[in-house]
Structure 1
């Protein structure tokens, strides 16, 4: 209650300036910096699910993740070992 969470009224005005520095290494001067990577997010989520299910001995080994796939992996592991 003592800490003010900043809102739009507490944040100072921001000035955006663009500085262009073409790359001398490519014909058009284009660079790849700043392009977002979406390929690692599914693997990170699969690893998080595997970590959560590690006590059950379940390892996620394929994508896409779906509730049915996860449920089947849990069910296979728990019924085989019992």
Structure 2
């Protein structure tokens, strides 16, 4: 236990805390990729919309695989995509 205590005493804890504080300030000031991702509501809304649309597309692909992948040699009529109404 004493060796662990000695190594912790030698660690520059103040410098580490200052680095964490600086990173937090940059995030809160919309600096860097993480700051922009966390603080940009428009980006958040766009990601939410894209996620919902992808979920609908995957559901439609599961329900109607023939609409996206055709195994017919002669050809088949494609059914148009219809968005499912929210439940």
TM-score, normalised by the number of residues in structure 1: 0.31
Higher relative contact order (CA 8 A, sep 6+): 1
Structure with the higher fraction of residues in helix conformation: 2
User: Which of 1 and 2 has greater Rg?
Assistant: 2
